Amino acid sequence: MSETHSTTTPSPTPDEPRSPQQVADDVVARVLARAGTALHAGGTVHSSFDGDQLDLEERTSLRRVAGLSTELEDVTEVEYRELRLEKVVLVGVWGSSGAGSANGTLGEAEVSLRELAALAETAGSQVLEGLLQRRAKPDPGTYLGSGKAAELASVVAAVGADTVVVDGELAPSQRRALEDIVRVKVVDRTALILDIFAQHAKSREGKAQVELAQLEYLLPRLRGWGESMSRQAGGQVGGAGAGMGSRGPGETKIELDRRRIRNRMAKLRREIAAMQPARLTKRASRRRNAIPSVAIAGYTNAGKSSLLNRLTNAGVLVENALFATLDPTVRRAETVDGRVYTLADTVGFVRALPHQLVEAFRSTLEEVADADLILHVVDASHPDPEGQIAAVRHVFADIPGAMDVPEIIVLNKADLASPEAIARLRSRELHSIVVSAHSGEGITELQALIADQLPRPGVSVDVVVPYHRGDLVSRVHEHGDIDHEEHTADGTALRARVDESLAAELEAAAVRRA
């Protein structure tokens, strides 16, 4: 953000008690003043393991900037214009932790509003102002209540904002009522996350999944224009020429839009289902070759892609932004004792991840459930890492089988986190390890822990493999555990542990001993 504004509330004297609203206003001021720290201000820092980052160069080739307008006086400038930053005002509600309230305490509200500011910046906007209101639950009419909504309208007019972002999910009626009061576009947290996903999706499957989630969100929120948009079907047209008794209003425009959206959603579901066999074939191939799999999962911007690059030199995109990478990446890796396994980088999670995205990305999230081990990456420098861990495990609970997979908590960004925070997290999460994907701290220990946790082959063999079947010896080196190897006159003598299919091939090809 290039500039910030905070709400102005008269400061009480030292002996005067502070109202909850004054405390909330102070929180907004602190949040907006430090909004950049939600993304670790200072820009994206890369290591030599991140590669050339060509995807990042492509993403930033057209950048939104402050102070420019898209209204051109000279149409010949159209080839050189840049997109204007959208100016937004943030709105949040805190109070009871019951149904309908996203944040139960002031601390939770502060963390959530900082995250909302980071989401808004990632989507390409400039945060100007923020409002927090304490109430037991959101108002069913305008989310904020009539008085706070009127105050919001005056703030929007004063700072020149063109969008209001609400830290929660709005019902269609709440969004319409709030837009009628503030007279600018109103979006909620769900719509903001969907917009970021739409910007960052690159693969065909990812784009289809995001579009399906957007249409599911849009369908109940279509806004009609009353009877003026109805299609009359009178005379001999009504009822396909049925005449009297069949005349009346026909299909309205909003009904037509809903039907088109439903048809498009049905087509997208068919396309996504058609893409699934390719992913299943790859998984079946890994299972057939007994290749263990490790899934990297965790909160968005926790450093999952940086960790993948550090472990495999994958060179996937690394950016200091929320939901920078969406499409899963699978890379080959080796344990310290030479066993091959795969590392899969999955989509990041966030608090209150839209259920539309969970459903649309279910085929992608199945990588987590099918893994032999989960590396749960946590940003140890975040103000609320425990909340991030809880949010990720909440999504795991929606993926059948994910909670049964062994999990290692990887406390990343150790170079930025305080020793007190790391000690607190390690006391809560016993199966954890401290690393820094940027500096390399703890990476060797993590690789050793992965090797120890991966499943080992269960069939013991003691065979002599003829020299012309060196391919089998190579597979034992790659996928098995060798206890003893010796070159004899008849072939290579092996005592090892391998999987069942490889054991059968070894027994069939083995030299029969006298």
pLDDT tens-place string over residues 416-450: 899 999 999 999 998 999 999 888 899 999 999 99
Q: Which of 97, 105, 159, 101 is nearest to 130 (CA)?
A: 159
pLDDT at site 383: 86
The b-or-e profile of 144-169 (16+ CB within 10 A means b, else e) is bbeebbeebbebbeeeebebbbbbbb
pLDDT at site 502: 85
- Residue matched to tokens 């799999």: 293
pLDDT at site 18: 56
Distance separating alpha carbons of residues 210 and 295, to the nearest angstrom: 22
Distance separating alpha carbons of residues 28 and 144, to the nearest angstrom: 16
Distance separating alpha carbons of residues 90 and 192, to the nearest angstrom: 12
Mean pLDDT of the residues in the chain: 78
C-alpha distance from residue 76 to each of 63, 73, 79 (Å): 20, 9, 7
- Classified as helix, coil or strand, 298 is strand
Q: Which of 233, 234, 226 is nearest to 253 (CA)?
A: 226
Sheet arrangement for strand 459-465: 459-465, 492-498, 481-487
Distance separating alpha carbons of residues 307 and 373, to the nearest angstrom: 15
Burial class from Cβ neighbours inside 10 Å (0-12, 13-18, 19+) for residue 14 reads exposed
Assess contact for 164 and 152: CB atoms under 8 A. yes
Regions of the chain with pLDDT less than 50: 1-14, 30, 33-38, 40-42, 62, 68-83, 98-101, 225-230, 232, 234-235, 237-239
Structure tokens at 155: 């703030």
What does the pLDDT look like over 176-226, one tens digit per residue? Answer: 899 999 999 999 999 998 888 888 887 888 888 889 989 999 888 886 544
Distance separating alpha carbons of residues 173 and 152, to the nearest angstrom: 18
Assess contact for 34 and 294: CB atoms under 8 A. no
Q: pTM for the full model?
A: 0.71
Burial class from Cβ neighbours inside 10 Å (0-12, 13-18, 19+) for residue 295 reads buried
Distance separating alpha carbons of residues 292 and 321, to the nearest angstrom: 31
Distance separating alpha carbons of residues 362 and 110, to the nearest angstrom: 31
Q: How many CA atoms lie within 13 A of 240 on its CB side?
A: 0
pLDDT at site 44: 64
288 φ/ψ sector (left φ>0, alpha ψ -120 to 50, else beta): alpha
- Classified as helix, coil or strand, 411 is strand
pLDDT at site 150: 92
Strands (E), 322-466: 329-334, 340-345, 373-379, 407-412, 432-434, 459-465
pLDDT at site 60: 55
pLDDT at site 490: 87
- As a whole number of angstroms, the longest Cα–Cα distance in the chain is 100
Q: Which residues contact 219 (CB under 8 A, 6 or more apart)?
A: 258, 261, 262, 265
At residue 165, φ and ψ (nearest 5 deg) are: -115, 120
